[in-house]
Amino acid sequence: MIENEELLSIVPHRGRMLLLKRVINYNLQEHTIEAECQIERDCIFYDSEKEGVPSWVGFEFIAQTVSAFIGIKNRERMINNIGLIMSVTQMRIGLPIFQTNSIITIKAKEVDSMDSVHVFEGEIFLEGEKVLKGKLTVMDVDGEQVVIKKESNAVE
């Protein structure tokens, strides 16, 4: 299990933008990862009117899980790459909102790869039931070449 400071060492997200609570397990040979998130009121995407996080944010939960997988893989290879989202496709959403205090499990598997482009299938489970799935395509880039402006969190 990976959480707290170790989680911060493998993902670039900080503050309220970090949505994951922990990585439950991963397998680099099978290209899989499983993470967990608890829906809380301090989430950057929290909608107080609906008392939860809109389900379309599921793509970001999957993206951060993929980011954690890339971070773990990079740690093993001792490189400093990050994944930039190129596309989100085939999203199927089975609920309108992730309710406050619910715990979701996010699973991702790398299903295709060519050079620096990787395709992941992601799924989100709530109380053991699959409630969202989709594909995420990311480009693996040299972290030293990406400049993140601290003031605006913009990427150049």
Q: Is residue 153 situated within a structural domain? A: no
Q: 113: domain CATH number?
A: 3.10.129.10
Q: Is residue 95 situated within a structural domain? A: yes
Q: Is residue 25 situated within a structural domain? A: yes
Q: Is residue 152 situated within a structural domain? A: no
Radius of gyration of the chain (CA): 15
Q: Is residue 36 situated within a structural domain? A: yes
- Burial of residue 3 (number of CB atoms within 10 Å: 0-12, 13-18, 19+): middle
Q: Is residue 45 situated within a structural domain? A: yes
Enter the pTM of the model: 0.87
Residue 106's CB is within 10 A of a number of other CB atoms, namely 26
pLDDT range class, residue 146, cuts 50, 70, 90: low
Number of structural domains the chain divides into: 1
The closest alpha carbon to 55, from 82, 37, 67, belongs to 37
pLDDT digits 0-9 by tens, 45-91: 999 999 999 999 999 999 999 999 999 998 888 887 777 889 999 99
List beta partners, residue 3.
22
Q: Is residue 67 situated within a structural domain? A: yes
pLDDT at 147 over 70: no
Q: 132: domain range? A: 2-145
Specify the DSSP class assigned to residue 19: -
User: Is the Cβ–Cβ distance between 70 and 25 less than 8 Å?
Assistant: no
Q: Is residue 151 situated within a structural domain? A: no
CA dist 103 → 12, 20, 22, 58, 126 (Å): 22, 11, 11, 13, 7
